[in-house]
Structure 1
Amino acid sequence: MSSQSVQIFDTTLRDGEQVPGCKLNTKQKLVIAEQLDQLGVNVIEAGFPVSSPGDFNSVVEISRLVNNATVCGLTRAVKNDIKVAAEALQDAKYPRIHTGIGTSDSHIKHKFNSDRETILKRAYDAVTFAKSFVEDVEFYAEDAGRTDNEFLARVCEIAIKAGATVLNIPDTTGYCLPSEYGAKMKYLKENVKGIEKAILSCHCHNDLGLATANSIEGVINGARQIECTINGIGERAGNTALEEVVMILKQHPYLNLDTSIKTERLYGISQLVSENMGIYTQPNKAIVGANAFAHSSGIHQDGVIKNRATYEIIDPKDVGVTDSAIVLTARSGRAALAYRAKKVGYDLTKLQLDEVYANFLNFADRKKEIDDNDIHQIIETSKAYRQIISA
C-alpha cells in the first residue's frame, strides 16, 4: 500500500486563540503565521473575520503574507459572515471559506430552536453562497460527535451537492470514544453519496483527553485532514495537538499516512506560541514539554546512556530538541553521575565514582535537582578529589 498524505489544518490563530486571556495582536499573529507556513502546514485558519475589526485585519494581513499554505476564514451559516470572510481573504493565494452549522439534536433544539429540514436548507445555502466567492469551501457540522450518523450523512450529502470540498466532522464537546469517532468516519466514507468529491476532516476537542486518539482513529478510517493547534491549545481543555498527531503518523509508518510537516521545527514553534500567548506548557507535555526527553530515574538513565532507543522512541533532534537530558536527583544512579561528571570535565574511575557517589547522595537528599555547579562542589568535597586532580 502506498503512503497517503494527511493534510494538516492549523487553527492556532482561531480556535487556539479562544483561550481566555490569550488574545494576540496582528503583529504577533503574523509572526506565528509565517512560522506555520515554514513548518509546512497545509491550511492556516487565520481567524473569524466578522467577529471584530482586529480579526478582520489579521486575516487580511495573513492572506497577504502566506505563500504556501491555504488561508482560511471561519464563518457561521450567515450571509454577512461569509461575505466579510470573502473580503478578508481576497488577497490570499489559496483562499478557503470555512462555514457551517450545528447538526446535533441538542444544537438544533436548544441553540437554533429549529428542525432538521431547516438545518439542511441553511447548510446548503451557506455552502452555495460561499462557493460564489471561492472555489475551496469547507463545511463544518458542529457537534457532529453527538449527531446521529444517518442525519450527519444527509448533511454531508447536501454540503457536497452545494459544492463543499472539505467536510469537517467536529467532536465539538470532546465526547466521543476513539472507536466511536472512527466508526463515524467509516460510516460517512461508506454511506455518503459523492463522498469521493470531498475530503473528510477531523476536528477534535480534548475535554476527556481523547482529542489526539480520536483524530488518529479518524484518519485510519478515511479522514484525510486533521484540524489541530500548536501545543494543543484551545477552548476549555484544548484541541488536538499538532505535534502529537504529526509524530504519531511519523513514528508509525505502517499506517501508510504521512504529512508535509518539517518536524525539526516543532519545538521552536511550540516555544514561540507559548511565549506570545503567555500559556505555560506543562513539563510532561508529549513531544514539546520540558521533560519530554528528560530522564531522572537511575534505571532509565543507565539505559538511555547505553542506547538512547532503550527509553526514547523519538530522536530529540527530529523535533528540534538539542539532546536528551540526564537530570541528576536522589533517584539517579552511578552511570548518570559519571556521564554528567564527564560533561563538566571529570573522567572518574570506578573506585573514584563509588566515593563521589556517596557524597552525591547526601547532597541530592537536600536538593531537588543537581546542576553542573553542584557537581563541581560534590566532587571537590569528596575524599577522592586528590586522586581525581592528580590523575
Structure 2
Amino acid sequence: MEFGAGTPLEEFRGQVRAFVASHAPGYKVRAGVRSPENAAELKELQRWTADLYAAGYLGADWPEEYGGVPGHDPLREFVVGEEIARARAPMPASGGSLAAHALIQFGTEKQKRRYLPRIRSGEDLWCQLFSEPDAGSDLASLRTTAVRDGDEWVVNGQKVWTTNGHWARYGYLLARTDPDAPKHKGISAFALDMRLPGVQVRPLRELTGTSDFNEVFFDDVRLPADALIGEPGQGWLIANTSLAEERNGVGVSVVRLQMAWEDLVALAREVTMDGRPALERDDVRQRLAGFRAEVDACALLAHTSMARWRAGRARVIDAPATKLTFSELNLRMAEYAVSLAGALGVLTEGDPDAVAGGRWQDAYLYARAYTIAGGSSEIMRNIIAERALGLPREPR
C-alpha cells in the first residue's frame, strides 16, 4: 500500500526511487533515528543531504529565492520520505529542516542569507535543542534561560536527547527569556553556534551500543543579539510552526512498519521450531497475519489523516493516534521477532551466530524509544482522551 498509488504522484515516485537508488549512501542504516557513527558516515550524510536539496526533493517548499520549487505539491514530501525509507537509506538530519522553516517564516533577511544556503549544501548540520531532563513531553516547562545583557543573550541550562548534537555546527534552541510570563509565553528561539565557549556536548551511550543522543550544557554562553529568531516570547509559536511543516514523518513510519513485517516473515522462514521453519506453524502464521492487519490499519489511518490535512480538515486526534499506533505496533513486532529467534535473538551485530545479522536485537532495543520520543504513549493517550474525545482530564 502506497500513498498516492494510481495518481500523478506515481510518476514522481518513480523518479524519486531511481534517484535514491543511485545516490543514497552505502553505509548500513539501523533502526530508528540514528546519528552517523564516524566522520566518514557524517561526510556521506552531508553529501546525501546536499544531493536531495539540489534535486529539489528537500526544501521544495522554500521560497524560490532560496531554492524552492515553483508550484510545489506538498504531498510530494510524503513520497520522498517513503522512498528514502523503502531504500533503507538514512534520513537527512531533521534539525536543519526544522531550523530552516523557523528562519524562513520568522528570521531576518540576514539570517536567511547566512544559514539557508549552508543547510541546502549540507555543510552545516543542525541539532534540535528543545527537550530537557524535566521538560520532554511537557516541553513548555523548560528551564534553560537566556538573559539579555547589552548586545548579547547569556544562556544557562541543559538540554538532553539531542540527536546529532556531537556533530552539529548549529543548534535550534528554545530558552526561557521571561520567567514571569506564563510558561508558553516566556520562551524564545535562537540559532546557537555549537562551538561557542561554554557549550559542552556529552554523547550518551545507549542500550543499542551507539551514541545517537547527547546531553548539552550551557554555562554562561554568550549569543549575539542577532541570534534571536523572531521576537522575544515567540519561541513556542515558532517551534510549533516549524514542527507543523515537517510532514513526511507519517509516510516514513508507515513504510518502516511494512518493511518490518516483511523482515518478520523472512525471519519466520529462517528460524526453526520443532525441527521445521517457524512459518509452517499455524500459531506463527496467525500472529503474522494479525500484525499485517494492524500494519494495513495503521497505513489507512495515516493516509486518511494526510487526506484530511490536505483538505484543511485535520483533527486534533489525527497525529497522536497515528503516532501511538505506529510506536506501539513497532514495539510489539520487535518483541515478537526477538522471541521467535529464541536464544539467538539476544545476539548483537557482529556475532557470527546472530539471527538476521543482529537486526532484530537492535530494533528491539530502539523500539521503546519510539514510544517516548515526540510525546510518550501516555501523553498521546491523554491528548486523544481529553482533547479529541472530551473525557475528563487526568488529575494533576
Specify the TM-score bucket, using the shorter chain as the normaliser. Answer: under 0.3
TM-score by length of 1: 0.25
TM-score by length of 2: 0.25
Structure ID, larger Rg: 1
